């Protein structure tokens, strides 16, 4: 069950993205149909998984045929990746050991996200997308420094990129919401989009 505070988290992150997009101008080239960040498996939290499931339930009500196509892609994706999944393929939970993390770095790098509509190039669960998807593209600081999408900020200096940094102060709220999800669902550990939506 999605915690009530998730909507607040989404609003904060989306507002931060709008602010960095305004400061970035033409350097931020993310647009509908640009799907480079939709290729390759990436880990998501159980909070993200709950948001995706809630979004999928809404899609089933509003557009059952599109939801059916999403679920077909989910099943197909799982059939492609289960054998090499660096975790428990029954639960969909990623193993957090160092060995498994190293395996995940090379896991399913060519697998297209199952919620990406291959015809339109659009995300079928865009409003419910994980946090990784919401912050990908603009400059975001991590322990490795300031990272940006390789398609963006061409011709910008390091100072200009830094001036566009996406400022997020959501760690505490997100951790609190993730703890609520873990307590309510009993699910612990990261997963990936396909396993989050599996039925």
* pLDDT computed for residue 141 by the predictor: 85
Tens digit of each residue's pLDDT (9 = 90 or more) over 39-57: 999 999 999 999 999 999 9
Res. 127: pLDDT tops 90 = yes
CB-count exposure of residue 119 (10 Å: 0-12, 13-18, 19+): exposed
Res. 33: pLDDT tops 90 = no
Asked if residues 5 and 176 have their Cβ atoms less than 8 Å apart, the reply is yes
Across 125-134, average pLDDT: 96
Average pLDDT of every residue of the chain: 94
Across 69-90, average pLDDT: 97
The better pLDDT of the pair 125, 2 is held by: 125
CA–CA distance, 160 with 118 (Å, rounded to integer): 34
Res. 91: pLDDT tops 90 = yes
At residue 99 the predicted structure's pLDDT band, cuts being 50, 70 and 90, is very high
* pLDDT computed for residue 188 by the predictor: 92
* pLDDT computed for residue 162 by the predictor: 93
At residue 74 the predicted structure's pLDDT band, cuts being 50, 70 and 90, is very high
pTM for this structure?
A: 0.93
Percent of the chain with pLDDT over 90: 87
At residue 19 the predicted structure's pLDDT band, cuts being 50, 70 and 90, is very high
Res. 145: pLDDT tops 90 = no
* pLDDT computed for residue 1 by the predictor: 82
Helix (H, G, I), strand (E, B) or coil at 98: helix
Tens digit of each residue's pLDDT (9 = 90 or more) over 161-194: 999 999 888 999 999 999 999 999 999 999 999 9
Point out which residues pair with 191 in neighbouring strands: 44
Dihedral sign computed on CA atoms, order 47, 48, 53, 55: positive
| Structural domain boundaries in the chain | 6-197
């Amino acid at each position: 069950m999605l915690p009530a505070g998730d909507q607040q988290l989404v609003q904060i992150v989306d507002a931060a993205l709008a602010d960095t997009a305004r400061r970035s101008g033409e350097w931020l080239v993310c647009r509908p149909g640009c799907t480079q960040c939709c290729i390759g498996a990436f880990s998501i939290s159980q909070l993200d998984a709950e948001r995706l499931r809630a979004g999928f339930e809404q899609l089933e009500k509003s557009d059952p045929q599109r939801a059916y196509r999403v679920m077909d892609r989910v099943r197909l994706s799982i059939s492609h990746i289960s054998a090499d999944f660096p975790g428990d393929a029954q639960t969909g939970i990623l193993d957090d050991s160092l060995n498994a993390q190293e395996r995940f770095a090379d896991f399913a790098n060519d697998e297209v996200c199952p919620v990406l509509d291959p015809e339109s190039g659009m995300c079928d669960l865009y409003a419910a997308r994980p946090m990784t998807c919401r912050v990908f593209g603009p400059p975001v600081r991590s322990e490795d420094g300031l990272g940006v999408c390789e398609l963006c900020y061409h011709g910008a200096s390091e100072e200009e990129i830094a001036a566009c940094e996406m400022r997020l102060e959501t760690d505490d709220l997100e951790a609190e919401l993730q703890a609520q999800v873990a307590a309510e669902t009993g699910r612990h550990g990261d997963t990936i989009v396909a396993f989050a939506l599996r039925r």
